[in-house]
C-alpha cells in the first residue's frame, strides 16, 4: 500500500513543514502561559501603608517655627514582582493631613490651606500625585534602587530612590526638591522664616495577598 501513495509535491512539502512549525510554536507558547499568569500584580494595601512628607524650616527666625509632618494618603497602586519588576502608586493630594502634635487646630488648618493652595500643590488643578517605575535594580539582599517618573504639580520628572524589604514592608526615603517641579518654597514674615526647598518623603508599603 505504501508503494501506491503518490509522492508529495514541493508545495505540499512546504505546507507540511509550516504546519509542523506552527504546531510546535503553539505548544511552546501554551507551556509558557502558566509562568506568565503567575506574575500578576499585587495591589497596595492602603490601610497598612503610609507616605509621610517631612517639611523643614530655615531662615533667621526658623528656631521659632515648627517643622511639619504631612501624611499623604495612598489612593491606589500596585507592585509586580517578576523578571521585570514594576511599581505604581497614586496619592490624593486633596486629602493631605498635618500630623504635627504640637500645633493647634487653627495652625494645622492654615498649613493645609497653604499646601493645597495655588502657591504650592494647587490641588484644584492637580489633585493627584502619580509615580510609575521605569526600572528596578537589585542593590543587595532585599534591597533595590527604583527608577521612575513622578507626576507632581503638573510636571513629570525622573526620580530614583532606595527600597528595602523589612518585616513584610517595602520601606525607604526619597529627597525631593520643590523647585524641580515648579513649586516655590513658602516664605513668611518677610522671608525670616521659610520652607527649605528639599523635603523628605518616607514610605512604608504593604501589599495585599
**Whole-number Å distance between alpha carbons of 147 and 87:** 10
**Whole-number Å distance between alpha carbons of 25 and 61:** 72
- The answer to whether the CB of 87 falls within 8 A of the CB of 79 is yes
| Grid cell at residue 21 | 512549525
Instruction: For residue range 41-78, list pLDDT tens digits in order.
Output: 899 999 999 999 998 887 554 454 568 889 999 999 99
pLDDT at 146: 97
Instruction: For residue range 165-202, list pLDDT tens digits in order.
Output: 999 999 999 999 999 999 988 876 454 468 899 999 99
| Grid cell at residue 42 | 499585587
Give the CA dihedral 72, 75, 81, 85, nearest 10 degrees.
Answer: -80
**Whole-number Å distance between alpha carbons of 127 and 116:** 9
User: How are the residues of the chain apportioned to helix, strand and coil, as percentages rounded to the nearest 5?
Assistant: 30, 40, 30
Instruction: For residue range 143-152, list pLDDT tens digits in order.
Output: 999 999 999 9
pLDDT at 4: 47
Amino acid at each position: 500500500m505504501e508503494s501506491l501513495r503518490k509522492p508529495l509535491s514541493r508545495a505540499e512539502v512546504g505546507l507540511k513543514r509550516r504546519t509542523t512549525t506552527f504546531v510546535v510554536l503553539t505548544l511552546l507558547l501554551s507551556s509558557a502561559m502558566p509562568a506568565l499568569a503567575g506574575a500578576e500584580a499585587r495591589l497596595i494595601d492602603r490601610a497598612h501603608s503610609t507616605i509621610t512628607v517631612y517639611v523643614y524650616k530655615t531662615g533667621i527666625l526658623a528656631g521659632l517655627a515648627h517643622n511639619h509632618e504631612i501624611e499623604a494618603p495612598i489612593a491606589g497602586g500596585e507592585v509586580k514582582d517578576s523578571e521585570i519588576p514594576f511599581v505604581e502608586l497614586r496619592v490624593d493630594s486633596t486629602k493631605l493631613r498635618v500630623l504635627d502634635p504640637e500645633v493647634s487646630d487653627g495652625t494645622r488648618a492654615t498649613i493645609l490651606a497653604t499646601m493645597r493652595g495655588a502657591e504650592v500643590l494647587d490641588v484644584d488643578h492637580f489633585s493627584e500625585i502619580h509615580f510609575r517605575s521605569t526600572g528596578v535594580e537589585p542593590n543587595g539582599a532585599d534591597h533595590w534602587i527604583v527608577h521612575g517618573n513622578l507626576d507632581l504639580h503638573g510636571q513629570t520628572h525622573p526620580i530614583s530612590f532606595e527600597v528595602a524589604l523589612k518585616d513584610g514592608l517595602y520601606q525607604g526615603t526619597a529627597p525631593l526638591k520643590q523647585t524641580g517641579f515648579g513649586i516655590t518654597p513658602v516664605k513668611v514674615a518677610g522671608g525670616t522664616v521659610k520652607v527649605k526647598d528639599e523635603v523628605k518623603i518616607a514610605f512604608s508599603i504593604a501589599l495585599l495577598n
